[in-house]
Amino acid sequence: QSALTQPASVSGSPGQSITISCTGTSSDVGGYNYVSWYQQHPGKAPKLMIYDVSNRPSGVSNRFSGSKSGNTASLTISGLQAEDEADYYCSSYTSSSAFPYVFGTGTKVTVL
């Protein structure tokens, strides 16, 4: 089961916008609108930020938005804040494995 590909790190200054990519194939990201994004602070459990490509759970800031184009999903954080510094993981449904879900490799977001 191959992990989805994310950049190892992304950085930005407070107030800026950053985008994290999550690249898969037509058997996962590109083929289904079942992409989720998680935020994980050190020592904490992951927190769901986006589900079904672009939907935010209740309570998640509207500074977080999700989208998809082809085989690549993206998470955009607008108005970057110090508290956004964390690891971010994408996850997708996949039809190319005996197990139906796969995580991305993870991206460390640094607020400069």
Partner 1 sequence: QVQLQESGPGLVKPSQTLSLTCTVSGGSISSGGYYWSWIRQHPGKGLEWIGYIYYSGSTYYNPSLKSRVTISVDTSKNQFSLKLSSVTAADTAVYYCARGRGPSSIYWGQGTLVTVSS
Min. distance of Cβ 106 from partner 1 in angstroms? 4
Contact flags string 15-54 toward partner 1, x per CB under 8 A: -------------------xxx-x-----xxxxx--xx--
Cβ atoms within 10 Å of 20's Cβ, excluding its own: 23
22, 106 in Cβ contact below 8 A? Answer: no
Contact flags string 65-94 toward partner 1, x per CB under 8 A: ------------------------x-xxx-
Using CB atoms within 10 A of its CB, is residue 10 exposed (0-12), middle (13-18) or buried (19+)? middle
Min. distance of Cβ 57 from partner 1 in angstroms? 6
Residue 82 DSSP one-character state = G
Tell me the two tokens of residue 65.
């938005």
Binding site for partner 1 (CB under 8 A): 1, 3, 34-36, 38, 44-48, 51-52, 57, 89, 91-93, 97-106
